[in-house]
Amino acid sequence: MHRTLRLLLTALAGVFLSLSLVITSAPSASAAPGSSSEIRTVGGTQTVCIQASGRYNNVFTQQCWIDRHLGYWSFTKVGGYWRITHKYSGKRLDSNAAGSVYLHAPNTGNYQLWVVQDRGNGQYRLLNRGTGRCLNNGYWLGRVTTQPCSTSKDQLYRI
């Protein structure tokens, strides 16, 4: 009886140890972007940042060192989505069915909700909940849009 109890307790201890190792070593879900993150492009010959002008509500790519304050964003988790707020203007990254991307006053609509998809190697894709399309970097020094999601580097970012 004692031997059986000892074997059972040893087996249970092994199970608990295994579970604790699995729990502590499990990879975290998508890493949370920082409160003052830059959204940097991956493709192209030079790294550029997604920036915005709060005055005109334009969202565009530009070399990261130019008007650097225009390229800082905060990410707020809302359920399984993120609200991306332009730090300089306080307006949110927004989109519409036509593929336009712009800044807009904060609201609770789906066009201001984004899925941050981990694509590996520190790269992310931003999918708009309202349109089902992905943020496209406007090539180089261009206007940012949403396009059907693809494997294009024009839709990959470091945050």
Least confident of 31-40, 56-65, 98-107, 113-122: 31-40
- Per the model's pLDDT, the better-predicted residue between 154 and 31 turns out to be 154
Q: From CA 115, how far away is CA 7, in angstroms rounded?
A: 48
Tokens coding 125: 């894709």
pTM above 0.85, yes or no: no
pLDDT at 3 over 80: no
Tokens at residue 74, please?
A: 């905060």
105's CB contacts (< 8 A; 6+ apart) are 91, 92
Q: Please tell me the predicted confidence (pLDDT) of residue 43.
A: 72
Q: What CATH architecture is 40-158?
A: Trefoil (2.80)
Which residue bears the tokens 């492009």?
Answer: 41
Report the range of poorest mean pLDDT among 47-56, 77-86, 106-115, 138-147.
Answer: 138-147
* pLDDT score of 12 more than 80: no
Question: Which distant-in-sequence residues (6+ apart) come within 8 Å of 140 by Cβ?
Answer: 44, 45, 46, 48, 61
Domain boundaries, the chain: 40-158
The reported pLDDT for the residue numbered 45 is 66
